[in-house]
Amino acid sequence: MCKCKITKYLLNIKYLQLSNTMEIINEPIPGLWLLKPNVFADHRGHFYESYRADFFNMKGIDINFVQDNQSLSNRGIVRGLHFQAPPHAQDKFVRVVAGAVLDVVVDIRKDSPTYGKTFAVELTADNFLMLFIPKGFAHGFATLEDHTIFQYKCSDYYAPSAEGGVLWNSPSLEINWGFDEPVLSQKDTLHPDFSHFESPF
């Protein structure tokens, strides 16, 4: 077998191995990926790979995640909608370790044909779903259960000077959070309504 055929064969094996770790099950907005890992379960519990850089590389995305964050929240809390502006914009990869959230994103890329479009999905410890959120999206979540643990990877460090946000209940976004009066931080009540928002992206 010639060297070129061996290389192609090995690449095909590598592709199949990576395809078995997780899959993209939806791309509701260009660049926004809903993923599900391959979960191995038995009488002891379960195991899965929650992130692989080479899987993202195979899909054409080369990201160096530099910071992992984790939050604990009880039911009825909304955090968001947040982003970091350039030059400290962040790609995020989010999942739920315990409990459940309604995860919400808004496309705030000014030149995007889907500018202002929202997407919401339940991420739970039981459904194992994960969301990759590229730069140019505002992100938030509502906790649906007590003792919910939410984790996310970020491609840039937290930079207070670059913090930005959109008001969680902006009428023009028509987001159904599932709560009329959630618990919010004071900061999250002060973000601009989307109708008056000037995107830095």
pTM score > 0.85 for this model? yes
Q: CATH number of the domain at 76, please.
A: 2.60.120.10
Question: What does the longest C-alpha to C-alpha distance in the chain come to?
Answer: 67
Q: Which of 15, 152, 158, 196 is catalytic?
A: 152
pLDDT at 19: 55
Q: How would DSSP label each residue in 33-80?
A: EEEEE--EEETTEEE-----HHHHHHTT------EEEEEEE-TTBEEE
In the residue annotation, 196 being an active-site residue is answered as no
Confidence of residue 3 (pLDDT cuts 50, 70, 90): low
Backbone angles phi, psi at 136, to 5 degrees: 100, 15
Q: How many domains does the chain have?
A: 1
Residue 82 inside a domain? The answer is yes
The residue range of the domain holding 152 is: 24-39+62-196
Residue 44 inside a domain? The answer is no
In the residue annotation, 82 being an active-site residue is answered as yes
Whole-number average pLDDT of the chain? 92
For tokens 């973000």, the residue is 191
Confidence of residue 1 (pLDDT cuts 50, 70, 90): low
Residue 53 inside a domain? The answer is no
pLDDT at 86: 98
Q: Which of 9, 15, 51, 82 is catalytic?
A: 82
pLDDT at 6: 47
pLDDT at 21: 87
Backbone angles phi, psi at 19, to 5 degrees: -65, -25
